[in-house]
Amino acid sequence: MNKNIMNCKFVCWLTVILAFNGTVNAASDISRTFHSGKPNILMILVDDLGYTDLGSYGGNIDTANMDQLAAQGMRFSNAHAYPSCAPSRASLLTGQDPHKVGLGGQNGVTPVGVSPKASGYSSSLEGEFTSIAALVKKQGYRTYQSGKWHLGHEEHQLPAAMGFEKYFTLIDAAASHYDDNLAVSQRVSPTGRGSYIRNGEIVSELPEDFYSTKNFTDEIINMIEAGKDDDRPFFAYLAYTAVHDPLHAPDEYIDKYRDAFSSGFEELRQERVRGLARSGLISDDPVATEKLKEIPYWKELTSKQKEDLSKRMAVYAAMLDYMDEQIGRLVKHLKEIGEFDNTLIVIASDNGAAGTPMTVYTEGNPDDIVWQKANYPLRSIDDYGRKGSFPTMGLPNAQASSGPYHNVKLSLHEGGTRIPLIVKVPNKNSSGIINTFFHLSDLYPTFADYAGADTNDQNTLLGVSFYPILENSDISVPDRGFGMEYMGLRSYRKGDWKLVFVPEAIGGTGDYALYNLASDPGETRDLGRDHPAIVEDLAIAWFDYASENGVIVVPMSLVNEHYNRIGSYFLGIDWAE
């Protein structure tokens, strides 16, 4: 590990454990008291950001601007999303479980045996809901969107129909970060190109100097600037495609991290765990961690393989460093126009770090693999990060990025769902850590409360408002159960207990496993045999969750068989040629 980078990143964080009294049962039950002026709301969603990558979360990447926001606001130690992009985005914007609004599937992929024509599994928005943008718009907000969408291509699924007045949008799941605008595969984007729109008009060509992170930031700044003389507050949703693969970044940013990860992913993971403890986000006590069997030992790798994984991490760090600079530019603009103090700023990831190889987007289709190789011809380590290359983070690096938490994106283990979450509260400096369980769907009622919107008529909202806690109220969120389903995987958590089913082929046990997250946050000890009554109670609770949210239950045996066939698409390593 590069010690200079490490030393500059680990700062002393003031840890504040909030004391809560009282309870609140749901967003609609909150007694609201608002300050006279409604705050602006800025939601920044980062794509595939690992739990420990930010400096304020124990990382060694230069993220000074986000760290400064964390120092002025609240960090969440126990925040969660769904384990993949689209379900998380659907839940954030609609306040619903993804199965209620069509995102039980993604990119046309559904759980084994479930038809994409089944209700809730269309892979695009459907059903009845009021988007958060439409809700706050009724409260007098200007509404802006810039960046990734991934919720459908039909007119009624696009930003305008969801209440956004101005937008610059990549409709697809992912694309090249440069002006070539290549899709990640033809299965994901049949045209082979990303689909951009601006305010209802198709954007057929991107400028030659296009780089996604810069241009998405330019667009949101321009929208805010154009409305700065408008008395209405704004709601801005900035959804970066960084740090989603293909990993692309300017050479000078990559050079900054060229030697930062040369000690390998095992040391990186250990250092990230120590960094979390120094940051106050986990206990100082030793934390047991689980190793995916598909991850090799560093000492067993060839020198080229070590160089390969180190360079991927350097490009990943460069992307995040660049994005942090752009967030700093946006914050500077808010300060220049006098809107920073009165803006609620939220920064979150949509899932855990991504450990899949590039072939995951092809699902093994030979024609699509040929297309990928033809359109991303730069396959050497030296070319990583440049236009025409397609480096992924790599499974070992992604597990290191998850820190002590087991597994990565696409899994319902903690490494797939636990996310960094920073909230800068409007008109106050309140640095601290919130350890209460939080889910991305809680942002919908939280934003609604800050905007003064009434959600009493939305009895299917999934989340709970954290407005009272953020405003240092004496009201707390009570212990609540929370269920998830993703592609046949299952989890249900309540209190310190978590029941999870993940196939053995992708890092699980192939059956229900029970973990006590208070004593074993790394999910290393299955306590199911010791506590069969808890397993039964949580399993019943999961089936209740599934019934209430339109989840089609797939037998575990069928899910296991399916992942035995396709598991290599998820946990392989696509080494450089």
**Of 10, 15, 134, 94, which is closest to residue 60 (Cα–Cα)?**
10
Classify the phi-psi angles of 565: left when phi > 0, otherwise alpha if psi is within -120 to 50, otherwise beta.
Answer: alpha
- In the numeric block, the tokens 């990640």 are attached to 184
Predicted local distance difference test score (pLDDT) of residue 134: 98
Packing angle of the helix pair 303-336, 212-226 (nearest 10 deg): 10
User: Does residue 150 have an active-site annotation?
Assistant: yes
**Total residue length of the chain:** 577
- In the numeric block, the tokens 């440069």 are attached to 178
Phi, psi angles (nearest 5°) of residue 78: -130, 45
Q: Which two tokens stand for residue 119?
A: 């209700």
Helix (H) or strand (E) holding 144: strand 142-148
Please report, as a single letter, which amino acid is at residue 82: Y
What does the pLDDT look like over 405-461, one tens digit per residue? 999 999 999 999 999 999 999 998 888 999 999 999 999 999 999 999 999 888 889
Cis-peptide, bond into residue 246, ω within 30° of zero:
yes
- Within 13 Å, how many C-alpha atoms sit on residue 151's CB side? 28
Q: Which two tokens stand for residue 497?
A: 């207990």
- Report the chain's terminal Cα–Cα distance, integer Å: 25
What span, in angstroms and rounded, lies between the C-alpha atoms of 56 and 42? 20
- Within 13 Å, how many C-alpha atoms sit on residue 350's CB side? 29
Query: What's the whole-model pTM score?
Result: 0.94
- In the numeric block, the tokens 């384990």 are attached to 83
3-state secondary structure of 349: strand
What does the pLDDT look like over 168-199, one tens digit per residue? 999 999 999 999 999 999 999 999 999 999 99
Q: Residue 149 contacts by C-beta under 8 Å, 6 or more apart in sequence?
A: 89, 158, 159, 169, 170, 171, 172, 239
Predicted local distance difference test score (pLDDT) of residue 37: 82
Alpha carbon 279 to its chain centroid, in Å, reads 21
What span, in angstroms and rounded, lies between the C-alpha atoms of 469 and 476? 6
What does the pLDDT look like over 526-552, one tens digit per residue? 999 999 999 999 999 999 999 999 999
What span, in angstroms and rounded, lies between the C-alpha atoms of 571 and 558? 20
**Of 112, 400, 95, 415, which is closest to residue 267 (Cα–Cα)?**
400
What span, in angstroms and rounded, lies between the C-alpha atoms of 124 and 526? 36
DSSP tag of 405: S
What span, in angstroms and rounded, lies between the C-alpha atoms of 264 and 251? 21
CA distance readout (Å), 25 to 464, 479, 491: 8, 10, 22
Q: What is the mean pLDDT of each run of 10 residues along the chain (577 residues)?
A: 42 32 33 58 98 98 98 97 98 98 96 98 97 98 98 97 98 97 95 97 97 98 96 97 98 97 98 97 93 96 98 98 98 98 98 96 91 96 98 98 98 98 94 94 98 90 94 77 98 98 97 97 98 98 98 98 90 91
User: Does residue 80 have an active-site annotation?
Assistant: no
What span, in angstroms and rounded, lies between the C-alpha atoms of 405 and 329? 32
CA distance readout (Å), 15 to 8, 56, 259, 278: 19, 11, 31, 10
Exactly one of 85, 99, 177, 439 is catalytic; which is it?
A: 85
What span, in angstroms and rounded, lies between the C-alpha atoms of 348 and 237? 12
What does the pLDDT look like over 20-66, one tens digit per residue? 233 333 333 332 333 348 999 999 999 999 999 999 999 999 999 99
Exactly one of 80, 150, 244, 333 is catalytic; which is it?
A: 150
**Of 502, 492, 479, 501, which is closest to residue 537 (Cα–Cα)?**
492
Packing angle of the helix pair 64-72, 303-336 (nearest 10 deg): 50
